[in-house]
Amino acid sequence: MTQIVSFRNHSTPSGMPPLSVHDLRTGCSTCSMRELCLPVGLDNDDMVRLDQIIRRRRRVPKGHLLYRAGDPFVSLYAIRLGHFKTYQTHREGTQQITGFLMTGEMLGMDAISSEVHQCDAMALEDSEVCEIPFSQLEQLFSEIPTLLRQFHRMMSHEITREQGVMLLLGSMPADQRFAAFLVNLSSRYAVRGFSASSFHLRMGREEIGNYLSLTIESISRLLSKFKKMEILKVDNRTINITDLPRLRRVAAGTETI
Amino acid sequence: MTQIVSFRNHSTPSGMPPLSVHDLRTGCSTCSMRELCLPVGLDNDDMVRLDQIIRRRRRVPKGHLLYRAGDPFVSLYAIRLGHFKTYQTHREGTQQITGFLMTGEMLGMDAISSEVHQCDAMALEDSEVCEIPFSQLEQLFSEIPTLLRQFHRMMSHEITREQGVMLLLGSMPADQRFAAFLVNLSSRYAVRGFSASSFHLRMGREEIGNYLSLTIESISRLLSKFKKMEILKVDNRTINITDLPRLRRVAAGTETI
DNA sequence: CGTGAATTTGACCAATCTCAAGCCTGGTGG
DNA sequence: CCACCAGGCTTGAGATTGGTCAAATTCACG
């Protein structure tokens, strides 16, 4: 692992072509399940069956909840378009964000065990998801072994991702955490065919701080520090990484500030 | 969730009878996979097929590695007896412990996605595991749907557990973290039919500190503090919880110290 | 332009770490 | 059986990172 932290890594196996704008417009082709099956030799019949299940779409406007903690678990959701955050709520009020998810990533896997959703999932912008009824998916597993295998990879990948966050929260100082966060976003946008160096933050400083267990003030100070170091330019929520290699070194702890 | 933190929760669905000493002596009956299938109506035939796969046992002496990061992923392991820790290694030297596992719990699920183990697994005492070759398990999935469903629950449960640790590392002060750690151990021993109030720590202060992202000194001070508060008694690595309700309140943050 | 929310910046504070010393404890050899 | 040693643990004092509080600034948007 050259990159120690891997927040929510893209769910796409490496080697997969990045999504094109065309993909974003046609059917459910950005759904994780479908994506994941393309490179592993599902035949056309299988694809059709998969599509029959995941065809249902649902729009979620900015700020609205896709599901909330306590809801019965019925479906997994693959993000077709947009961004989400997942968070758990403590005692009245305090929330802890457990992940930021983008196009092609999957929501709801943590609910399989208890059959109840463990967190809220909120759209950070107007978004659209594919609903995948889990019981139907399970049926399909028996018919399409490849699909099952990919599903296992996704679950396992989520476990690995969370271990990365544990590592980050557990043993990185603030600057390293934040750098790792930015590097992670950058890679995930790159995989999706967007710029790795310039992107728009869909979440506010407060949400970033919450996720990284830092205060909003710390995030702000770190942004200023990175700006001064000429690692990046900031225009409100637009980030422009001017020295990605250095940012990576900061994230890795190789370069102390 | 009354108990906010759920480190490595027991993998047994609630309502399952705790393991008896008898269980510990007969065959592979403590393997997670087997355990998990008992209450969900696997018939005898299925059970036999499962046993054929998981029959292979392996002893791991204290301090030895079951697998190490980078090893190719071949099997999952269910702990038959003993305790393990899993940890990732940073740059030369530093390690971050990601979990402590006990009898009946499963190791290796994080390796499915990459087909390479992501962490080292070391025995904290002389231990014994059942080896479950994953490819054979996959074959069995198609024959025994119930088994597959249980497997998904286990994966999902691991995701939930890690979210709990994220919550813990992200938003709890030191005393709360350590209390949560002890409450968690206590519950897991209770489920296994051991005393909830008195148990032996298999890991040193340093390992606890590493897991909770606290220094060894902090752990030591917290032990002293809890002793003074008459929440517990400590004799070396033997913990005796004298006021579990209060410890729970500290863990929950209800009772500030 | 005006208004409230989000962000930035500064000064100070507190939780936790670091460093350093001393203390048990269990194992070993005389 | 006892003394000694090494490793792990405890305790104290001071340093640091990141948090808190407060004020100033900028931005989004009507």
**Contact between chains at B113 and A157 (C-beta distance less than 8 A):** yes
Phi-psi region of A75 (alpha: psi -120 to 50; beta: other; left: phi over 0): beta
Round and report the angstrom distance from CA (A173) to C1' (D16): 12
Please tell me which of the candidates B109, B138, B166 has its beta carbon nearest to residue A159.
Answer: B109
Interchain proximity A155–B153, CB inside 8 Å: no
Mean pLDDT over B229-242 rounds to: 93
Q: Are A90 and A76 in a shared domain? A: yes
- Residue B57 in any domain: the answer is yes
**Residue reference for tokens 């480190």:** B7
Question: In the predicted model, what is the mean pLDDT of chain B?
Answer: 83
- Which residues of chain A between 176 and 205 are close to nucleic strand C, CB under 7 A? 204-205
CA–chain centroid gap for B171, Å, is 22
Nucleic chain C: which protein residues 79-138 of A have CB below 7 A from it?
Answer: none
Burial of A195 (0-12, 13-18, 19+ CB in 10 A): exposed
Chain B residues at the A interface, defined by Cβ less than 8 Å, are 4, 88, 90-91, 94, 96, 98, 109-114, 118-119, 138, 141-142, 145, 148-149, 152-160, 162-163, 165-167, 169-171, 213, 253
CATH of the domain at B111: 2.60.120.10
**Using a CB-CB distance cutoff of 8 angstroms, which residues of chain B are in contact with residue A159?**
109-110, 113, 155, 158-159, 162
In one letter, which amino acid is B42? L
Q: For residue range B124-165, list pLDDT tens digits in order.
A: 999 999 999 999 999 888 888 888 988 998 899 999 999 889
Q: Are residues B149 and B199 in the same domain?
A: no
Show residues of chain B in contact with A162, CB under 8 Å: 159, 162-163, 166
A41 and A91 fall within a common domain: yes
- Domain co-membership, B43 together with B162: yes
pLDDT at B49: 82
Q: Which domain holds residue B63?
A: 21-166
Of A166, A197, A218, the residue that ends a domain is: A166
Q: How many domains does one find in chain B?
A: 2
- The pLDDT of residue B46 is 79
Query: Of the candidates A104, A133, A166, which is a domain's last residue?
Result: A166
Q: What is the mean pLDDT of residues B234-239?
A: 91
Instruction: Answer positive or negative: Cα dihedral of A225, A226, A228, A233.
Output: negative
Q: Which pLDDT score is estimated for B31? A: 53
pLDDT, tens digit, 9 for 90 and up, residues B207-223: 999 999 999 999 999 99
Q: Report yes or no: B97 and B84 within 8 Å, Cβ to Cβ.
A: no
Strand order from edge to edge, sheet including B106-107: B57-60, B127-133, B75-81, B106-107
Nearest CA in chain A to B94: A171
Domain boundary residue among A133, A166, A199? A166
| Distance measured from the CA of protein residue B16 to the C1' of nucleotide D15, in angstroms | 51
Ranges A55-64, B76-85, B229-238: which has the least confidence: A55-64
Percent above pLDDT 90 for chain B: 60
Alpha carbon of B214: minimum distance to chain A alpha carbons (Å): 9
Chain A nearest-CA distance from B249, in A, is 13
Determine the nucleotide nearest to B216 by Cα–C1' distance: D9
pLDDT tens sequence for chain A (257 residues): 233 333 343 333 333 333 333 232 333 444 555 555 554 566 777 778 888 888 788 999 988 999 999 999 999 999 999 999 999 987 666 789 999 999 989 999 989 989 999 999 999 999 999 999 999 999 888 888 888 988 999 999 999 999 999 989 988 999 999 999 999 999 999 999 999 999 999 999 999 999 999 999 999 999 999 999 999 999 888 999 999 999 999 999 888 77
Pair (B32, B141) in one structural domain: yes
Position A12 in a domain: no
In a domain, B87, yes or no: yes
* 8 Å CB contact between B162 and B86: no
The torsion region of residue B82 among left (phi > 0), alpha (psi -120 to 50) and beta comes to: left
pTM given for the model: 0.84
Quick one: B98 and B152 in the same domain? Answer: yes
Alpha helices in A117-235 (DSSP H): 134-143, 145-171, 174-191, 205-212, 216-228
Cα separation values, A26 from A38, A55, A81, A140, Å: 15, 12, 12, 23
Residues B151 and B175 in one domain: no
One domain for residues A124 and A230:
no
Phi-psi region of B211 (alpha: psi -120 to 50; beta: other; left: phi over 0): alpha
| A218, A209 Cβ separation under 8 angstroms | yes
The CATH number assigned to the domain holding A212 equals 1.10.10.10
**pLDDT one-digit tens code per residue, B6-51:** 334 333 333 333 333 323 223 344 455 555 555 456 777 777 888 8
The whole-number pLDDT of residue A30 equals 47
Q: What pLDDT shows up at residue B91?
A: 67
What's the CA B209/C1' C22 distance, rounded, in angstroms? Answer: 22
Q: Are B186 and B94 within one domain?
A: no
Residue B3 lies in a domain: no
- Give phi and psi for A160, each to the nearest 5: -65, -45
Question: A33 and A90 share a domain?
Answer: yes
Contact in structure between A223 and A234 (CB atoms under 8 Å): yes
A206 touches strand D (CB under 7 A): no
- The DSSP secondary-structure symbol of A240 reads E
The band of B90, judged by pLDDT with boundaries at 50, 70 and 90, is: confident
Question: Smallest CA–CA separation between B132 and chain A, in Å?
Answer: 16
